[in-house]
Amino acid sequence: MKFIDYNLSTELMRGIDALGFRRPTDIQYKCMQPILRGEDVMAVAQTGTGKTAAFAIPIIHHLHNSKQNERRKDGIKCIVLAPTHELALQIYNVFDSIGKYTSVRTIALIGGVNQDPQIRALQKRHDVLVATPGRMFDLISQGHLDVHRVDTLVLDEADQMLDLGFMKDIQDLTYKLPKNRQTLFFSATISHTIKNLAYSVIRKNAIRIKISPKDPVSKNVTHYVSFIEMDDKRFFLERLIDNHTDAKVLVFVRTKVRAERVKKAMERVNIPSVTLHSDKEQKDRSSVLKKFKANEVLMLIATDVAARGIDIPNVDFVVNYDMPDKEENYVHRVGRTGRGKKKGTAYSFCSEEEKPLLKAIQKYTGYDIPVINIQPRDIEDAQLFSDNTDLQTLMDSISFIEEKKNKQRKRRKKK
């Protein structure tokens, strides 16, 4: 089936054609007709499968057609909530691009920036609001945003919004919306708790869709894990970059402090990188992503703020420098590579204390990650030949290795 077979509006098809879309992906094929019929949908699909377009296309089609016959200007008719600034802006860009030739207008509201320009923008006519929960709730409480005519609510990556503590806010929002509305849930993973949230706001006859539910990880990604202690990880990251100098690498760490430390370690060996985490101003976060997407810098070191839904073209390697605390975040992290028809590789550096996290990840995904064994000699070589080692450390390492070899010789002689 092709997009042209859906009897979409001519203006919408112009936007779809301009993006080079010809046939719907699996998630788009299964979701578009129910959404076009106005049904509630709860969809779970592995990341990188085109979830955003799966709801953007039918929503834009509906709004464009309804505006042709409207008698009054109703304001915001659709709200799309996303957990992070980056994902919200990405969803906004998808709506803006697909709906470019239609009458549908989209606005994005995110925190971390001055709200005054957003308030002024809300005074103009917009149909779709893409927002992070915090800023949207602020503007509702201040009286700048009216949501009583919204007829479609989309929760994208709703499980992360739950983790961030927005569950009560989302439920409070639903009380402000018309009861006769359409609600759509989209996520790469779903938990028992998020199911309870979904069932509390969607209709009982909602369409439930799962794509590859038994294997949430994209088949385009090859996975490996190596057992490397914390203090040695920087040497192996350096070695990976040295062996793939033209590769685009996304490195995930557990905390913003770790992100900056790894960046400094890479700077000492003349490997340029940028960092992305919640301590950065929004303009800096946007600038970092722009540089990485444009290949101006080939290594991005990020916390899980970059793990969800963000589409970064042509990432060759994802490196779990720190194993994720939550097993489902492994799925989101590695989903930044192998997107669409592209192939990608995910390497995980697992220390001794992180082995329980690895075990949980393998139980969650349903298979063991292939192990690349690291021999003691590999660690010695990585340390000795790293530019990240100052002269004194290098001399200490040589002395330690020589001393260890002498002890081994003595033991062999005694035998």
pLDDT tens digits, 71-92: 666 789 999 998 888 889 889 9
Residue range 303-315: mean pLDDT, rounded: 79
Tokens of 360: 């949980």
**Where residue 335 falls among pLDDT bands split at 50, 70, 90?**
confident
Tokens of 105: 């207008």
For the cut 50, the answer to whether the pLDDT of residue 7 exceeds it is yes
**Which of 85, 98, 137, 105 is closest to 309 using CA atoms?**
85
Q: What is the pLDDT of residue 390?
A: 44
Interval 266-287: pLDDT, tens: 999 899 999 998 888 878 888 9
**Where residue 48 falls among pLDDT bands split at 50, 70, 90?**
low
**Where residue 22 falls among pLDDT bands split at 50, 70, 90?**
confident
Residue range 215-223: mean pLDDT, rounded: 77
- The domains found in the chain, sorted by start residue, are 3-211 (3.40.50.300), 221-374 (3.40.50.300)
Q: What is the pLDDT of residue 408?
A: 60
Please state, rounded to an integer, the average pLDDT across all residues of the chain: 84
Q: What is the pLDDT of residue 128?
A: 95
**Where residue 167 falls among pLDDT bands split at 50, 70, 90?**
confident
Residue with the bigger pLDDT between 61 and 146: it is: 61
Instruction: Report the number of secondary-structure helices (H) and strands (E) in the chain.
Output: 16, 13
Residue with the bigger pLDDT between 169 and 251: it is: 251
For the cut 50, the answer to whether the pLDDT of residue 397 exceeds it is no
E strand intervals along 306-373: 317-320, 344-350
Q: What is the pLDDT of residue 387?
A: 55
Residue range 340-366: mean pLDDT, rounded: 91
Residue range 309-333: mean pLDDT, rounded: 88
E strand intervals along 340-402: 344-350
For residues 113 and 186, the answer to whether their CB atoms sit within 8 Å is no
Which CA distances in Å does 374 have to 202, 226, 296, 410?
A: 49, 7, 32, 25
Among the ranges given (68-82, 121-135, 240-254), the one the predictor scored with the smallest mean pLDDT:
68-82
E strand intervals along 106-195: 106-109, 128-131, 152-156, 182-187
Residue with the bigger pLDDT between 319 and 122: it is: 319
